[in-house]
Amino acid sequence: MTEQTTCKYQKLSYEILGLLAASFAVSFFFFQFLSLTADSIVASYYEYHNLTPTYAQITDAELWVFSGSLITAVCFFITLFLFLLGQKLAYIYQLTRGVEALQTPDMDFLMPLEGNNELTRLAETINYLSATQRQIREKEKALNEEKEQLIRTLSHDIRTPLTSILSYSEFLSSPQTCSPEALQEYLPLIQKKALQIRELTDILLDGGKRNPERFEDARLLMEQLIGEFEDALEDNYKVSTDFAQCSPFAGIFDVQELRRIFDNLISNVEKYADREKTIYLLLRVKDGQLTIRQENNKRILTQPAESYQMGLNSIRRIAHHYGGQVEVEQDSLHFAITITLSSF
């Protein structure tokens, strides 16, 4: 404790001495009051009965008055001092309960601040520790929730390349389609998706560690990702992409994060989009912002399908890393998602 802090609070010992002195002063005046009152009563008694006391009677009366007043004043002093001290002891008991409460999960308590001494300082310290532990528990809870969310989103994102690998493998295992040309085309794709799964697994094991890189011409990276988007959907969908508003730009991106965005878009299209309608994808760079907008018509589902929310949560989490946001517009027939990456 610094000297300035020490000067801010009075000494508890001084306060106790003050209580002792105050109790003594009050008891002394009480003793004087009792003595004068008793002497006046004795004098009035003799005068009322026309008695003339002897010297010995006067001495005995004064002795009895002094002794009675002194005993009464001493009892009053002890009672008053213990009463005043009891308030301090009760406060110390409250502080003891507060210290014990620090050992329990219940952090929703505050010690009352009474006086201006070491006990007050102790109460403030208990309140500070209580608030600190409560903040630590809240941060731990938030970190655990974030960790669980990371595991859920990454697990969901791993399913997309895994599904592609299973589809490619099933395609190649068919005697009708397993030609040398097909092997040459699909084996690199399987390897690429397997590497993506490994990278996502590494991210999961590293607790969501990012690996951003600087791209002097990030438009080329976007073209590559959109090419993968088109390749994944071209067999079943007509895809229309628009690069007209995407001029060359530089930025720092984590390639895996961007790939996860497009993988989730692909997954949502495959689950919900109408195969008879065109899938639209727009890229735009304006005022330091990269905008990715994807639109499609919904197909009529005969049974309830998995919700969009897991993939959208993954996209929102990634967009947050770039100071961006995600807006979703949908009704019973149409779905559109706009992803804005602000700080790249």
What tokens appear for 20 in the block?
A: 């002792």
pLDDT of 277 over the 50 cut? yes
Q: In b/e form, how buried is each residue of 79-91, taking b as 16+ CB within 10 angstroms?
A: ebbeebeeebeeb
pLDDT value for 2: 45
The three-class DSSP label of residue 9 is: coil
- Helix H, strand E, coil C: the string for 200-252 is HHHHHHCCCCCCCEEECCHHHHHHHHHHHHHHHHCCCCEEEEEEEECCCCCEE
Q: Give the predicted TM-score (pTM) of the model.
A: 0.51
pLDDT value for 223: 92
What percentage of the chain reaches a pLDDT higher than 70?
86
pLDDT value for 312: 83
- Domains of the chain, by residue range, sit at 3-101, 210-344
The three-class DSSP label of residue 153 is: helix
∠ CA 51-55-57, rounded to 5°: 60
- The pLDDT tens digits for 230-257 are 988 888 899 999 988 888 899 899 888 8
- The pLDDT tens digits for 62-112 are 888 888 888 988 998 888 888 887 777 777 777 777 777 776 666 566 777
Least confident of 39-53, 175-189, 264-278: 175-189
pLDDT value for 306: 53
Task: Find which of 43-47, 117-121, 226-230 is predicted with most confidence, using mean pLDDT.
Answer: 226-230
- The pLDDT tens digits for 113-168 are 776 667 777 777 777 877 787 788 888 888 777 777 777 777 777 777 787 777 77
pLDDT value for 240: 94
pLDDT value for 57: 76
Rounded to whole angstroms, how far apart are CA atoms 147 and 204? 10
Give the chain's mean pLDDT: 80
> At the topology level of CATH, where does 210-344 sit?
Heat Shock Protein 90 (3.30.565)
